[in-house]
Structures are given as C-alpha cells and as structure tokens.
Amino acid sequence: MSLFPPVEPYHREHLDVGHGHRLYVEQSGNPDGPPVVALHGGPGGGSSPLLRRLFDPYRFRIVVYDQRGAGRSQPYAGIEHNTLPDLVADLERIRAHLDIPRWELVLGGSWGVTLALAYALAYPDAVAGLVLRGVFLCRQQDIDWLYTEHGAARFYPDHWQRLLDALPEDEGGGDLLHRYHRALDGPDGERLAREWTLWEARLSSLTPPAQLNVDHNALAMARLESHYFVNGGFLERPLLPRLGELQCPVEIVHGRYDMVCPPEQAWLLHQALPNSRLHWVAASGHSTMEPAITQALVRSVKALSRPRAAASSDSRSGRYTPGSA
C-alpha cells in the first residue's frame, strides 16, 4: 500500500501553551472523521506533509503539529520550558482545544514513540490505538548508541570521525554529547548543528541520497536533541517497566537494519506491551521515507482503523500475533 494523495490542511493555527511557546497545529482530511494525530521525531525534527499522507483523508480528521521549539512552532529551537512532561501536557491541551473526546490513533516515529508512550501512560483513556515506527525508548544505552564510539560509530567510523573533527577545542572536556551541547550555544552553533544533524541523517536510510539537505531543521534538531539527551530525555521513570498498564492495541513497525534505533528496542517494546503486533521491515532502516517503511505504516493504520472486533480476531489470548512486513 502506498501513500495517500497529497492533501492540504483546512485549518492552521498557533496554539499558546504558556511560557512563551506557541505550537503550530494543522488539521486536514475529514472534519467529521475519527481523529488521529501524528508525532514527529527528534526532538526538534518538525512535522512534514508526508505525515498527512499516512492516513486516508476521506476517512480521518488528521492532526499534525510541531512540538515545542520545532518546525513552525515558536520560539524556534527554544529549549526553555521544554521537557517531556511539557510535551505530554501540550498534546493533551491540543486534544482539549480541538474538542476531541479520544484519539482514534496516535502515530509516532522515533522520538515520537517516546512521546506517544509517555502520553498514553499519562492519559490512557484518551488513546484508542497506537502506531509506532522506529522505536526509541530513550534509555541511556539508546542515547549512548548514537553518541559514543561503542554504537553506530563502529558501523560508520568515517562519519563519526567527521562529527568529532567538527568540534572546536573545549577546555571543559567530557563526551561528545556534552561537548556539542555546550558548543551549540557558541558562535559556531549553526555549523555544528549541521554536522550533528547530518550524522543522524546519514544513519537513517540504508541508501541515503548523495546530497543530504538538513539546513531547514538543523538548529532545532541539534539544540533540542542535545538538550533532551544530556537530561535523559526528561523521563521521570523508565518506560518499559510501566508498559504493561497499556491495554490499547499497538502496531509496531521497525526496519531490520535501523542504525538510529537498534531493533532490540522494538522487540523489547513488543514483549512489554500486552496487545501489540510487531512488523519487521526487511531491507530497511529508520526513515519513514523508505518505501517499505511507508507501506508498512499505511497497512498498520488500516489494521487498527478496522472495527475493533475484526482487529481482535487476529489475536491470541488478548495479544496480537507477531507479523512481518
């Protein structure tokens, strides 16, 4: 199944959520349809028109927004009053503001998985189903995979060396993550933000394009990711031990060769969720734009948007049967 045709929003606004933050929020599709919301990655990645096209616009009321500091939200790249609890509260504010009783689906990718799970744990009655792609659990080992020499750096040593070489001399010392976090606020911040974002972009697809353009979101990605990751994602408690509380159906889509979020995270998530189905996507990495990932997401949205009785017919003892895509 391919993406749905492009669709333009029928409503756009900036929602004031306090402390100087105004979130860009758009709605498209069917205003009277079941409401769905898409959560972008990063933190700081910003939304994309691609997210709208994962849903049938004739059926769904599609809500897409930019999280604090990202995309068209204001202030751009702002890190003050920007934590995971703030983002969870923002999503609930959007639901209340739009007079939505319950999200039919919450779709999240990468960091959007962390946010979707944290939101569903905080507001379980507000979520009927989850579609999760490129699972990021935001444990310390998941952060270390990306920003120490013991993880993805072993597969991409040339790109890792470029990331290291870009850093200026720093008397403060410390690991790469903390050095970037300090340097991004300095006079060379924009150049360093581009190197930071290119590192992740080069890992995101099995066959990335020859020319990667990250200039549109580099500063927000670098500032927000480093801000969150030096603070452990602002997780008050680890996610995994709490996920048995979630009873809503969950579709998990994960590339077999994801180098941003190693597949172990998807497997652990599947094991922790009592009503989940895991789709391994062959010959694919992390990016939503990889064709097989896109197709698996569209299928997962369709699977969860069936009548609940039909969807549950694929489960055994209340648990979805593992699948593949």
Residue numbers annotated as active site: 110, 258, 286
Q: 143: closest CA among 261, 263, 270, 286?
A: 261
Would you give the DSSP letter of residue 268? H
Token digits for 102?
């319950």
User: What whole-number distance in Å separates Cα of residue 207 and Cα of residue 185?
Assistant: 32
User: What whole-number distance in Å separates Cα of residue 144 and Cα of residue 320?
Assistant: 31
84-97 helix and 111-122 helix, angle to the nearest 10 degrees: 70
User: What whole-number distance in Å separates Cα of residue 80 and Cα of residue 83?
Assistant: 8
For residue 75, say if its preceding peptide bond is cis, omega within 30 degrees of 0.
yes
- HSE-CB at 143 with a 13 A cutoff on CA atoms is 20
